Chain A
Amino acid sequence: EIVLTQSPGTLSLSPGERATLSCRASQSMSRNYLAWYQQKPGQAPRLLVFATSNRATGIPDRFSGSGSGTDFTLTVSRLEPEDFAVYYCQISGGTPRTFGQGTRLEIK
């Protein structure tokens, strides 16, 4: 079973800065099966990126995903106030469809 480890646990940045979130898999996995979600307090998650680098419908282009093998990254190029939230990566193919433990992106 593949385990996803996200880092850092918390990332403190200011609006306008660039955010780089990491998701490391315990073994090599297909790029087709890595997704990223955003979750704000009291809300359901929202799909941001699927298949490593494809933005979901309506997601701004400041969000981008990359990676391969065991190392995957979500980048937010210029943080907007509404981007401060918790981000999860997920194995989006096969079973189990495990989530990482999350990275909290907070305002510095």
Chain B
Amino acid sequence: QVQLVQSGAEVKKPGASVRVSCKASGYSFTAYDIIWVRQAPGQGLEWMGWMNPDSTNTGYGQKFRGRVTMTRDTSITTAYMELSYLSSDDTAVYFCARAVRNDLLPDNWGQGTLVTVSS
């Protein structure tokens, strides 16, 4: 069955970077896109961007451009989201999801990774 398993919770200091991984299994990794969405505590959903694991093309939300990088390692069917220059506003649960190519509608999600930014 399709599974997306994310890396564990992280605690980072302001100004640092964090890399969250998303290990995919149960399907052809390069046939679907990966999207990233985050959710601050008690808040709504925020779109971060997408990556095509086949072409490595990416599209980032304007708010995150210059701070986010989405990559992948096809040998281990894992996608990564790295966010730099962290501030307390980046404290959130970060979700990855598999999405149908071109329309980016998610059909399977990871369990979420809590990133806490605190001095």
**A interface, CB within 8 angstroms of B:** 35, 37, 39, 44-47, 50, 56-57, 88, 90, 92-93, 95-102
Contacts and interface: CB of A to CB of B under 8 A. Distances in A.
Contacts of A47: 105-107
B106 A100 contact: no
Interface in B3-58: 37, 44-47
Interface residues of B, number: 20
A44 B47 contact: no
A90 B104 CA distance: 12
Given A47-B105, A93-B103, A98 B44 contact: no
Contact of A95 (B44, B59, B95, B112): B59
B75 interface: no
A99 B47 contact: yes
B47 A97 contact: yes
Contacts of B106: 45, 47
Nearest to A102: B44
Contact of B109 (A44, A96, A102): A44
B61 A92 contact: no
A88 B62 contact: no
B70 interface: no
Contact of B103 (A46, A92, A95, A96): A92
A94 to B, nearest CB: 10
B24 to A, nearest CB: 15
Contacts of A99: 44-47
